[in-house]
């Protein structure tokens, strides 16, 4: 009760002081004065001052790998997440990139290998009708952007001695302004290796020999809405660049026969390149998307493998190469 009485007296005193205070106006820092070095109204800092807040949200994997060019590898699956599991059962050795142990659901502990509830295998979100037609929506995907039809000489000279067909061009011999003549491949870099718990980016000496990674039922979609897919400023003029061509090129997809529907690679040091797809001359103009649903990407562990409480990782390298070299 004494506390209440004390509070009341302080409030009363504050009210009395405010009533007795002089009525003169109190000016803030003059905006004009803050622009004036002589008056130094704001300690040398001009008004008004501004700052910014960014509010963001993202969906899927939209990371930019920094590649450029008329022909470029724009996207690959950056993470394939086979989940976190209680044990390795010798009779159930298959795991899928949606974080599940095939035919042994009771072994699925966490959806992510990093221990999280959310699986980290990113899938493509698109409203592009051409890509939906190719059934690549909802897949872990790789994209090859082929804008070779818009290629122009950066200069006209004969500085390149390797070009004997057109001395006024700076293209290398065999280079054309046509889509196609490229190959997408993938290979293993190393074996499944346990990571250092103190620094998950560093491998230990513990490796698993004989694991295999498989990609089944490859889906393919092609679109001319390149910038809408990549969200990359370097693709912003593609549509207008094509429209400006004197002769409009015929858009042709990569031939089905040259798309590898199912392939696998041992996870081992120095793996061999496996062809994913190959575009012949005139094929693949625009953006070419190759995709696999997470359940169609499978990690098969070797029987008898001894695993510990650890995160195991392996690396792949995807390569886009040109057959004109």
The number of folded domains in the chain is: 1
Predicted TM-score (pTM) of the model is: 0.82
Q: How many H helices and E strands in the chain?
A: 5, 17
pLDDT for the residue 220: 98
Q: Which domain holds residue 294?
A: 122-322
- Give a yes or no: residue 16 inside a domain: no
Mean pLDDT across the chain, nearest whole number? 87
Q: Please tell me the distance from the alpha carbon of residue 261 to that of residue 256, in angstroms, as a whole number.
A: 9
- Give a yes or no: residue 253 inside a domain: yes
Strands 199-208 and 212-215: unpaired
* DSSP H or E run through 132: helix 129-133
- Give a yes or no: residue 313 inside a domain: yes
- Give a yes or no: residue 75 inside a domain: no
- Give a yes or no: residue 204 inside a domain: yes
Residue 2: is its pLDDT beyond 80? no
- Give a yes or no: residue 108 inside a domain: no
CA dihedral 296, 302, 305, 310 (to 10 degrees): -30
Q: Please tell me the distance from the alpha carbon of residue 120 to that of residue 317, in angstroms, as a whole number.
A: 19
Three-class DSSP category at 294: helix
Q: How confident is the model at residue 22 (pLDDT cuts 50, 70, 90)?
A: low
Of the candidates 232, 320, 309, the one whose C-alpha atom is nearest the C-alpha of residue 273 is 320
- Give a yes or no: residue 82 inside a domain: no
**CB count in 10 Å sphere of residue 271:** 20
pLDDT tens per residue, range 72-110: 999 999 999 999 999 999 999 999 999 999 999 999 999
Sheet of 316-322: strand order equals: 274-279, 182-188, 316-322
- Give a yes or no: residue 233 inside a domain: yes
Residue with tokens 């700076």: 170
Three-class DSSP category at 146: strand
Q: Please tell me the distance from the alpha carbon of residue 163 to that of residue 209, in angstroms, as a whole number.
A: 48
Three-class DSSP category at 6: helix
Of the candidates 232, 219, 222, 226, the one whose C-alpha atom is nearest the C-alpha of residue 261 is 219
């Amino acid at each position: 009760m004494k506390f209440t009485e004390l509070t009341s007296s302080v409030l009363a005193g504050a009210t009395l002081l405010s009533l007795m205070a002089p009525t003169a106006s109190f000016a803030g820092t003059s905006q004009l004065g803050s622009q004036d070095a002589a008056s130094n109204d704001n300690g040398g800092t001009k008004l008004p001052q501004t700052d910014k807040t960014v509010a963001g949200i993202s969906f899927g994997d939209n990371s930019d790998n920094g590649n450029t060019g008329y022909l470029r590898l724009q996207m690959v699956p950056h993470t394939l997440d086979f989940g976190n599991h209680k044990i390795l059962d010798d009779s159930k050795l298959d795991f899928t990139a949606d974080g599940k142990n095939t035919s042994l659901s009771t072994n699925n502990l966490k959806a992510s290998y990093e221990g999280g509830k959310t699986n980290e295998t990113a899938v493509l979100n698109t409203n592009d009708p051409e890509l939906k037609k190719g059934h690549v929506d909802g897949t872990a995907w790789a994209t090859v952007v082929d804008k070779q039809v818009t290629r122009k000489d950066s200069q006209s000279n004969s500085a390149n001695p390797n070009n004997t067909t057109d001395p006024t061009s700076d293209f290398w011999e065999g280079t054309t302004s046509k889509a196609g003549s490229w190959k997408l491949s993938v290979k293993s870099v190393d074996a499944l290796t346990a990571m250092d718990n103190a620094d998950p980016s560093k491998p230990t000496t513990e490796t698993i020999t004989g694991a295999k990674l498989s990609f089944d039922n490859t889906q393919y979609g092609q679109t001319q809405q390149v910038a809408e897919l990549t969200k990359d400023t370097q693709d912003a003029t593609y549509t207008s660049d094509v429209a400006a061509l004197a002769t409009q090129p015929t858009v042709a997809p990569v031939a089905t026969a040259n798309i590898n529907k199912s392939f696998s690679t041992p996870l081992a040091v120095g793996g061999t390149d496996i062809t994913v797809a190959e575009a012949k001359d005139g094929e693949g103009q625009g953006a070419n998307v190759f995709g696999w649903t997470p359940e169609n990407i499978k990690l098969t562990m070797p029987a008898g493998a001894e695993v510990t409480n650890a995160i195991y990782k392996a690396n792949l390298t995807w390569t886009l190469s040109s057959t004109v070299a």
